[in-house]
Amino acid sequence: MEIVVCLKQVPDTESQIKISGDKKSIETGDIKWVMNPYDEYAVEEALKLKEKFKGSVTVVSAGPARVVEALRTALAMGADKAIHIEVDTVQLDSYGTAELMAAAIKEVPHDLIFTGQRAVDNDQTSTGAALAEFLGIPQLSLITKVDVADDASKVTVQRPVEGQTLVIESSLPALITAQKGLNEPRYASLPGIMKAKRKPMDKKDPGALGVTPSSKSEVVQIIPPPERAAGKIIDGETAEEKAIELVRLLHDEAKLV
């Protein structure tokens, strides 16, 4: 089974976000970059399927030179080869990113493609869907369970939606977006890290892929979130007193209950 995993490098979730002077992007100077957490589930699921069905796992990332680190992490976890599409992703939305990745992925065999359900930077939650559309394959999003038929002819997945879980069957090739709960991502082992250094890292530039990616959204500005007014710490002698006063305030002052 040939599997492709798309992964994005994003700021560590601990990062404080500072907006740049032009209000169009964020300051990246102090940021520690990591593989998007949802993409770790995607890589793990691909590796598990490879263990069962054989074949290979190719990881793809579009971004500046630094994203090679995230690709190396995936190779160290056990992926076989990497494709780095070198591009300044700051200028790209999910549409443009998906156009580029579709062009790269068309050239490699793929029975299944995994992405994360969303990248925790711009939270666009749409690159997977756009990629599936551009490749003309079905998408299965926010998936917490993947079962590939023994003869690898189809896939059955579980997709929790509000208050229920849909069990969906799809033909292959298909694209799956990984949700938390799908698996527990493995860590890269030391031998894995050593081996990763020798695994192929194929660099592509957008020109060679024959696409001029088009962003379909204009950023007017990026601003800090609305400030929350300072809150009230409720005084009282005992927990009970405080609890009673809290409920009174929620009722009388906040008018919520």
Partner 1 sequence: MAEGIWFVAEQRDGELRKVSFEVASAARRLADEVGTTVSGVLLGAGVAGEAEKLGAYGADKVFVIEDDALSVYTTDAYSAAIAGVVKENDPAVLILSASVQGKDLSGRLAAKLGVGLAMDCVKFELNADKKLVATRPIYAGKAVAEIIPAGDPQIATARPNVMDLVEPDESKKPEVVSVPFSVDAAELKTKVVEVLKDESGKIELTEADVIVSGGRGMKGPENYKILEDMAEVLGAAVGASRSAVDAGWRPHTDQVGQTGKVVSPNLYIACGISGAIQHLAGMSSSKVIVAVNKDEEAPIFQKADYGIVADLFDAVPVMTEEFKKLLS
Ligand X SMILES: Nc1ncnc2c1ncn2[C@@H]1O[C@H](COP(=O)(O)O)[C@@H](O)[C@H]1O
Ligand Y SMILES: Cc1cc2nc3c(=O)[nH]c(=O)nc-3n(C[C@H](O)[C@H](O)[C@H](O)COP(=O)(O)OP(=O)(O)OC[C@H]3O[C@@H](n4cnc5c(N)ncnc54)[C@H](O)[C@@H]3O)c2cc1C
Q: Write out the residues near ligand Y by the rule CB under 6 A.
A: 13, 37
DSSP for residue 70: H
Asked if residue 158 lies in contact with residue 166, where contact means CB atoms within 8 angstroms, the answer is: yes
Considering only residues 144 through 183, tell me which ones interact with ligand X, judged by CB under 6 A. none
Residue 17: name the closest of 6, 29, 7, 8 by CA: 29
Element (H, E) at 115: strand 112-116
Position 146 contacts partner 1 (CB under 8 A) = no
Pick between residue 167 and residue 194 the one whose CB is nearest to partner 1.
167
| Cα–Cα distance measured from residue 109 to residue 73, given in angstroms and rounded to the nearest whole number | 22
The partner in contact with residue 181, picked from ligand X, partner 1, ligand Y, none with C-beta cut-offs of 5 to 8 angstroms by kind, is partner 1
The partner in contact with residue 29, picked from ligand X, partner 1, ligand Y, none with C-beta cut-offs of 5 to 8 angstroms by kind, is none
Pick between residue 84 and residue 97 the one whose CB is nearest to partner 1.
97
Q: Which of 138, 199, 201, 202 binds partner 1 (CB under 8 A)?
A: 138
Which structure tokens are listed for 20?
């740049």
- Torsion, Cα 116 185 72 195, to 10 degrees, reads -150
Our measurement of the distance from residue 247's CA atom to the centroid of its chain's CA atoms, rounded to an integer in Å, reads: 40
Q: Which of 91, 181, 194, 212 binds partner 1 (CB under 8 A)?
A: 181
Least Å from the CB of residue 23 to partner 1? 9
The partner in contact with residue 194, picked from ligand Y, partner 1, ligand X, none with C-beta cut-offs of 5 to 8 angstroms by kind, is none
Position 153 contacts partner 1 (CB under 8 A) = no
In the block, tokens 């939270």 appear at 123
The partner in contact with residue 62, picked from ligand Y, partner 1, ligand X, none with C-beta cut-offs of 5 to 8 angstroms by kind, is ligand X
Rg, the chain, Cα only: 22
Which structure tokens are listed for 247?
């409920």
Q: Which of 140, 148, 196, 209 binds partner 1 (CB under 8 A)?
A: 140
Give the x-and-dash track for 109-128 against ligand X (CB under 6 A).
------xx-xx--xxxxxxx
| Cα–Cα distance measured from residue 152 to residue 173, given in angstroms and rounded to the nearest whole number | 10
Least Å from the CB of residue 77 to ligand X? 15
| Cα–Cα distance measured from residue 65 to residue 33, given in angstroms and rounded to the nearest whole number | 12
| Cα–Cα distance measured from residue 123 to residue 137, given in angstroms and rounded to the nearest whole number | 23
Position 99 contacts ligand X (CB under 6 A) = no
The partner in contact with residue 63, picked from ligand X, partner 1, ligand Y, none with C-beta cut-offs of 5 to 8 angstroms by kind, is ligand X
Considering only residues 192 through 211, tell me which ones interact with ligand X, judged by CB under 6 A. none
| Cα–Cα distance measured from residue 168 to residue 19, given in angstroms and rounded to the nearest whole number | 41
| Contacting positions for ligand X (CB under 6 A) | 6-8, 36, 38-39, 42, 60-63, 89, 94, 97, 115-116, 118-119, 122-128
